[in-house]
Copies of this chain bind each other. A is one copy, B any other.
Amino acid sequence: MKIPNNRRSFLKKVVISGAASFSIMEIVKASTDKMQKSKRIKLIGNETILFQGDSITDAGRDRENMEVNSSSAMGNGYAFIASSELLYDFPGSDLKFYNKGISGNKVYQLAERWEKDCLELKPDILSILIGVNDYWHMAKHGYEGTIETYKTDLDNLLRQTKEELPESELIIGEPFALPGISAVDESWFPTFDQYRKAAQDLADEYEAHFIPYQSIFEEASKKAPAKYWTFDGVHPSLAGSQLMAAAWLEVVG
């Protein structure tokens, strides 16, 4: 392909950006290194792995599709990317992936469907990302739950899960929001930060693996504008989905 002159100045810029891609991976690694590396989940190859959460996890999945390892059932987000990558990395394995995220969910809505959409599946690895709607719907849409509701509901959910699935590995993703983009303004902070802290505290309490998505997105936003990673401050772009999958894959593999 010929390179028109007006592309040449862009080339220099992108070569710099291209170099930055290596440090993006470093950011992910550094952020997840905050967890104990020894706690990384080593796959045997026959695990059932369940993604749970809200729209970020749902990512447009076909909710009528109950099949295991089905593309349309995994949605168009980090869960699809991470599961495709692991099935590719472990050819011939019996890894079983499910995505049961539902758009708009808050913790109490996970609890209402936990028996069917979690416990019955008996996941060996359970990954939960929940909390942005617990704040958002309270702040903007008249939901009456508070940070105390979030903490109590998530505490109860995790306690129940630990009781019923004592050998399952838990992964808790940090709720995240990037200010200055459509859905998210400065009014979110510092209240929203309490939800992040609650998720981290409960991850510690229940010995769950914690993925610090907020700091991962903040660090990535030093390499490219936040809007590059999340188009509305809450939902990841294509690049943001890959960023989340890369972070998730630092915890499981």
Q: Which residues of A contact B (CB under 8 A)?
A: 1-3, 7, 10-11, 13-14, 17-18, 20-21, 24, 41, 43-46, 59-60, 62, 69-72, 74-77, 80-81, 83-85, 87-94, 97, 124, 167-169, 220, 223-225, 228, 236-239, 241-243, 245-246
Is the Cβ of A88 less than 8 Å from the Cβ of B14? no
Is the Cβ of A241 less than 8 Å from the Cβ of B71? yes
Which of B59, B93, B94, B124 contacts A1 (CB under 8 A)? B124
Known A71-B59, A92-B223; contact A87-B239, beta-carbon cutoff 8 A: yes
For residue A21, which residues in chain B have a CB less than 8 angstroms away from its CB?
88-91
For residue A14, which residues in chain B have a CB less than 8 angstroms away from its CB?
43-46, 90, 92-93
Beyond the given A1-B167, A3-B44, A18-B90, please list 20 additional residue pairs across the A-B interface where CB-CB is below 8 A. Answer: A1-B124, A1-B168, A2-B167, A7-B44, A7-B46, A10-B94, A11-B44, A13-B45, A17-B90, A21-B89, A21-B90, A59-B71, A60-B62, A69-B238, A80-B80, A84-B239, A84-B242, A88-B238, A88-B242, A91-B228
Is the Cβ of B81 less than 8 Å from the Cβ of A84? yes
For residue A44, which residues in chain B have a CB less than 8 angstroms away from its CB?
3, 7, 10-11, 14
For residue A1, which residues in chain B have a CB less than 8 angstroms away from its CB?
41, 124, 167-169
Which of B169, B238, B242 contacts A97 (CB under 8 A)? B238
Q: Closest residue to A6 on the B side, CB-wise?
A: B46
Q: Closest residue to A47 on the B side, CB-wise?
A: B1
Q: How many copies does the complex hold?
A: 2
Is the Cβ of A224 less than 8 Å from the Cβ of B45? no
For residue A90, which residues in chain B have a CB less than 8 angstroms away from its CB?
14, 17-18, 21
- CA–CA, A239 and B88, complex, Å: 5
For residue A241, which residues in chain B have a CB less than 8 angstroms away from its CB?
71, 84
The 4 closest A-B pairs by CB, nearest first: A14-B45, A92-B224, A88-B242, A87-B239
Can you name 29 A-B residue pairings with CB atoms under 8 Å? A1-B41, A1-B167, A1-B168, A2-B167, A3-B44, A10-B45, A10-B46, A11-B44, A14-B43, A14-B45, A14-B46, A14-B92, A14-B93, A17-B91, A20-B91, A21-B88, A24-B88, A60-B72, A70-B238, A71-B77, A71-B238, A81-B81, A83-B238, A84-B241, A87-B239, A87-B242, A88-B243, A91-B220, A92-B224
